[in-house]
Copies of this chain bind each other. A is one copy, B any other.
Amino acid sequence: MCAMSEIPAPPWRAPRRSVSARKPLSRDTIVDAALALLDREGLDAVSMRRVAEELNTGAASLYAHVANKEELLELAYDRVLGEIELPEPDPARWREQLLEIARASYRVLGAHSDIARVSLASVPTGPNALRMGEAMLGVLISGGVPPQQAAWAVDRIALYLSADAYEGSLYQARQRASGKPVDEFVADYFGQVHDYYRTLPTGRFPYLNKYADVLVQGDGEVRFEFGLELIINGLARYLPGGG
Contacts and interface: CB of A to CB of B under 8 A. Distances in A.
Given A120-B166, A170-B123, A156 B211 contact: no
Nearest to A197: B130
Interface stretch (A4-12, A61-69, A133-141): A133-141
Q: Give the size category of A's interface with B.
A: 35 or more
Contact of A120 (B120, B151, B152): B120
A231 interface: yes
Interface of A: 120-123, 130, 133-134, 137-138, 141, 147-156, 159-160, 162-164, 166-167, 170-171, 200, 204-208, 211, 214-215, 217-218, 222-223, 226-227, 229-235, 237
Given A130-B205, A167-B159, A230 B153 contact: yes
A155 to B, nearest CB: 6
B208 A130 contact: yes
Nearest to A123: B170
Given A151-B215, A211-B141, A230 B156 contact: yes
Contacts of A159: 160, 163-164, 167, 227
A134 to B, nearest CB: 5
Contacts of A153: 226, 230
A230 B235 contact: yes
Contacts of A120: 120, 163, 166-167, 170
A137 B212 CA distance: 11
